Chains A and B, each alone.
Chain A
Amino acid sequence: AQSVTQLGSHVSVSEGALVLLRCNYSSSVPPYLFWYVQYPNQGLQLLLKYTSAATLVKGINGFEAEFKKSETSFHLTKPSAHMSDAAEYFCAVISYSGAGSYQLTFGKGTKLSVIP
């Protein structure tokens, strides 16, 4: 079964600094990978997704992620953090659960704090 592991439950960066949130996947087939963001008291919003096209994927709000098969990684980055980026970020992978059914399997999430 496919799964993802997010390293670091909490990451703090200074405003203007690089944001790096780590995600490693485990998959026996080429994976479809996603990053979602959750702001306080809100649902999840799709940031970006990898679907086996370009390995560098650009998303909303200046975020991007690079798929590296050799490292089984799909880390999320942003060159310069804004205060508004403070949120929880979830990495997810599509899993096939049989009988034509697919489901998203999420990591435990990484809470990003941005220090002024």
Chain B
Amino acid sequence: ETGVTQTPRHLVMGMTNKKSLKCEQHLGHNAMYWYKQSAKKPLELMFVYSLEERVENNSVPSRFSPECPNSSHLFLHLHTLQPEDSALYLCASSQDPGRDRSYEQYFGPGTRLTVT
């Protein structure tokens, strides 16, 4: 595997389900991100982890819970979601932007989530 991978690519879940999205980066990066992409809305940054510590949480509802067990893996745990949470969830990685001033982020293909 190369780059940033995400599983599953598609997920349909009911409002009472619990599921997790997985992201893995094979680039040797030490910062990882979750974004939400909805129709007709700009990309929204949800969470940032740098060196496995959460450094940013952009007022995301608690029904979204991130986990970063190591610098290569990132999870987004989902529970009791709402239909308006249906979106494309994108994972990205980069070098720690506080140290590497390239600021380039590399994106995975996303998980298309549908909440019914």
The reply to whether A104 and B55 contact each other, CB–CB distance below 8 Å, is no
The reply to whether B101 and A101 contact each other, CB–CB distance below 8 Å, is no
Number of interface residues of A (CB under 8 A): 24
Given known A-B contacts A99-B55, A100-B98, A102-B97, A43 and B90 have beta carbons under 8 A apart: yes
A115 within 8 A of B: no
Tell me the bound Cα distance from A43 to B108 in angstroms: 5
A28 within 8 A of B: no
Shortest Cβ distance from B93 into chain A, in angstroms?
A: 11
The reply to whether A101 and B42 contact each other, CB–CB distance below 8 Å, is no
Q: Which among B6, B48, B101, B104 is the interface contact of A103 at CB below 8 angstroms? A: B48
A41: chain B residues at CB < 8 Å are 109, 112
For A6, give the chain B residue with the smallest CB separation.
B42
The reply to whether B109 and A102 contact each other, CB–CB distance below 8 Å, is no
Tell me the bound Cα distance from A34 to B94 in angstroms: 14
A94 within 8 A of B: yes
Number of interface residues of B (CB under 8 A): 25
Shortest Cβ distance from A79 into chain B, in angstroms?
A: 25
Given known A-B contacts A51-B102, A101-B55, A106 and B42 have beta carbons under 8 A apart: yes
Tell me the bound Cα distance from A50 to B88 in angstroms: 27
A104: chain B residues at CB < 8 Å are 45, 103, 105
Q: Supply 9 A–B pairs (Cβ within 8 Å), ascending by A.
A: A43-B90, A44-B43, A44-B90, A51-B101, A51-B103, A101-B97, A108-B41, A108-B42, A109-B42
A106: chain B residues at CB < 8 Å are 42-43
Tell me the bound Cα distance from A34 to B6 in angstroms: 23
Shortest Cβ distance from A45 into chain B, in angstroms?
A: 7
A42 within 8 A of B: yes
Tell me the bound Cα distance from A43 to B9 in angstroms: 11
- CB contacts under 8 Å to B, within A12-50, are 32, 34, 36, 41-46, 49
Tell me the bound Cα distance from A26 to B45 in angstroms: 19
Report, nearest first, the 3 A-B pairs whose CB atoms are least far apart. A43-B107, A102-B97, A106-B43
The reply to whether A46 and B104 contact each other, CB–CB distance below 8 Å, is yes
